[in-house]
Chain A
Amino acid sequence: MARRIGWAALLAAGLLLPMRVYPVLAADILAWALFATAFDIMLGYTGLLSFGQAAFFGGGAYTAGLLTQRLGVPYPLNALAAALAAGLLALPLMGLAIRRRGIYLAMITLAFGQMVFYVVNEWRSLTGGENGVQGIPRPALGGVDISSSTAYYYAAFPLAVLGLLLCWRIVRSPFGRVLLAIRENDVRTETLGYAVHRYKLLAAVLSCALSGLAGGIWVINHGFVALDAVHWTTSGLVVIMVLLGGMGTRLGPLVGAALVLLLRDFISTWTDAWGVVTGTIFILVILIFRQGIVGTIERLLEARTRPAPAPAPAVEEVASPHRS
């Protein structure tokens, strides 16, 4: 019952958000909440620390942006195409990357991210290079008018919610149980009869496709996309959001994303150095609450009822290249 009320409150908060903050920021929160939650399938639930997620978020954003600008592909088909493109891109890249573990996985994904950045930067005829893709219109299926920011927010909302529900289902599915097992002990998982590489690849492809969807939602919100979408700082930001909110928790990434974006918006009204401030807050939170905000709250709540069934791993457990 309390649970139902919680979800209803969250849904209501989502629906009322554009009345509290300006609609473009509200839709940004939707997109980044989906991006972070999708990334947590890899980071928190499978133990795959990727530092190249900008390739999939940004790749999705460029795909949706170009399809809309050049071919007039309407919403939500453009956002769904972004998901497809990011998933296809993940197949070879993550297929190679997941052969490595821990810090080596982080390094190889960072390198792939840089490669994608390079291609986007050089392929000027398609991507506009440093200028990016500008003036992306907002056509919608069935001729619905979503040109105002508020209308777009309510158009993006159901798609983002569906994406979030899929993320939450994935981590609480029979497949998700195997991912947890891989996070805990991949050698034992393999010797039980699970093809660990295939599981990791499917987890990564799903995660990256949903990140692409987030990129699509994001680009249609802004009407333009430039190189920062595929820059490594975007990969870093999503890692920070997940760690801040609490990896391996259901609401952590969403909370982390909302917090970072609101903070950035608030702080950038009086200083350009918002990165320094968010960075400091991030370091403080991680030092004091290793499980992130939601992870720590869950810990405290569970400590009062019963021993924790599957607490999220601490930061250093995922980052270290354990065994062989």
Chain B
Amino acid sequence: MPDAAAILETRGLTMDYRDFRALEGADLRVQEGTIHAIIGPNGAGKTTLFNLLSGLLSPTRGRILFAGQDITGHPPYRIARLGIARSFQITSVFPHLTLLDNVRLALQAGTRHGYAFWRSDRVLDQFTDEAMQILASVGLDRLAGRPAAALPYGQKRALEIGLTLALRPRLLLLDEPTAGLSLEDAARIMEPIRQVARNRTIVLVEHNMGVVAALSQRITVLTRGRVLAEGTYAELRTRRDVIEAYLGGAA
């Protein structure tokens, strides 16, 4: 395992918000084809890490390598086009567009139908079937014609994941996909994620230790912006410092 190729690697990644250091010298190696969990208490810097990886923030110091290529400071759209897609902890969809149009936008993103202002938007009908399949995979196909704003919270979370899956990325960054969901809704959302995990790489921020233990091959523990430990669930569950920092409450 340690010899396998890292699809994602960070070196000394540091992020300062004005005078507050949210991430400090984070080194991370994510092996291709694994589910790699990032855990840590509130404010540990998990979302900040994702914002750096997806290009929404530029690091104060450090580098990010994806598939051997340095992507530090690349704009978000270029990172997305290279094959890194993310979901948001705070649901981020297109509220006044229908679910179908939400997903079709994600599908359209990978094509050359972007700047064609002289063509009819009927050319986007070619994405309808695929969009419906994706909506079905997250249990939303029956609501395809509804505007996203009309959905209850749990289904908005499902759409959030659907948008990310629709990009068919090599690497998925999922920021607390089950945040605020009932056990039942959480299981429903994790199922399509489990499906795509078969031939993709996932970095998963998750507070639910049951989900982390069941899904992930490796876990990185973040506290106060630093990497505290890395290993398998079996290795970490017995470490005192990890338990004190985080698992204490859950284990």
Q: Which residues of A contact B (CB under 8 A)?
A: 169-170, 172-178, 180-181, 184-185, 187-196, 198-199, 202, 206, 306-311, 313
Contacts and interface: CB of A to CB of B under 8 A. Distances in A.
A139 B77 CA distance: 49
Contacts, number: 117
Given A175-B115, A175-B116, A180-B97, A185 B110 contact: no
B116 A173 contact: yes
7 contacts: A173-B118, A175-B115, A177-B108, A178-B105, A185-B94, A188-B88, A191-B86
A193 B80 contact: yes
A185 B56 contact: no
| Most chain B CB inside 10 Å of its own CB: which residue of A175, A190, A192, A306 | A192
A175 B86 CA distance: 23
A176 B94 contact: no
Contacts of A180: 94, 97
Contacts of B109: 192-194
A172 B167 CA distance: 23
| Most chain A CB inside 10 Å of its own CB: which residue of B93, B115, B117 | B117
B121 A177 contact: yes
Contact of A173 (B101, B106, B121, B145): B121
Given A173-B117, A176-B121, A181-B105, 20 more contacts: A169-B120, A173-B116, A173-B119, A173-B120, A173-B121, A174-B113, A174-B114, A175-B116, A187-B56, A191-B54, A191-B76, A191-B80, A192-B80, A192-B106, A192-B167, A194-B114, A195-B75, A306-B145, A307-B147, A310-B96
A174 B55 CA distance: 25
Given A185-B93, A193-B110, A194-B77, A309 B120 contact: no
B170 interface: no
A103 B176 CA distance: 33
B68 interface: no
Nearest to B98: A309
A187 B81 CA distance: 15
A186 to B, nearest CB: 10
Given A191-B56, A307-B150, A177 B124 contact: yes
Contacts of B145: 306-307, 309
Interface string B154-180: 000000000100010000000000000
B30 to A, nearest CB: 19
B77 A184 contact: no
Contacts of A198: 115
| Most chain A CB inside 10 Å of its own CB: which residue of B94, B98, B108, B109 | B94
A302 to B, nearest CB: 11
B147 A174 contact: no
Contacts of A172: 120-121
A175 B117 contact: yes
A176 to B, nearest CB: 6
A57 B54 CA distance: 40
B199 interface: no
Interface string B118-149: 11110110000000000000000000011100
B92 interface: yes
A181 B95 CA distance: 9
Contacts of A178: 105, 108, 114
A185 B119 CA distance: 23
Contacts of A184: 94-97
B143 to A, nearest CB: 11
Given A185-B92, A187-B56, A310 B97 contact: yes
A187 B92 contact: yes
A185 B76 CA distance: 14
Nearest to B102: A181
Nearest to B107: A192
A176 B98 CA distance: 15
Contacts of B97: 180-181, 184, 309-310
A192 B114 CA distance: 12
Nearest to B92: A188
Contacts of A191: 54-56, 76-77, 80, 85-86
A199 B108 CA distance: 14
A61 to B, nearest CB: 25
A36 B96 CA distance: 23
Nearest to A324: B56
A175 B56 contact: no
Q: Name the 10 nearest CB pairs between A and B, nearest first.
A: A193-B80, A175-B117, A193-B109, A174-B113, A184-B94, A192-B109, A190-B76, A188-B92, A170-B117, A195-B77
Nearest to A173: B117
Contacts of B163: 188, 192
Interface string B29-71: 0000000000000000000000000111000000000000000
Contacts of A173: 116-121
Nearest to B87: A191
A196 B77 contact: yes
A185 B115 CA distance: 18
Nearest to A170: B117
A176 B117 contact: yes
Contacts of B121: 172-174, 176-177
Contacts of B167: 192-193
B104 to A, nearest CB: 8
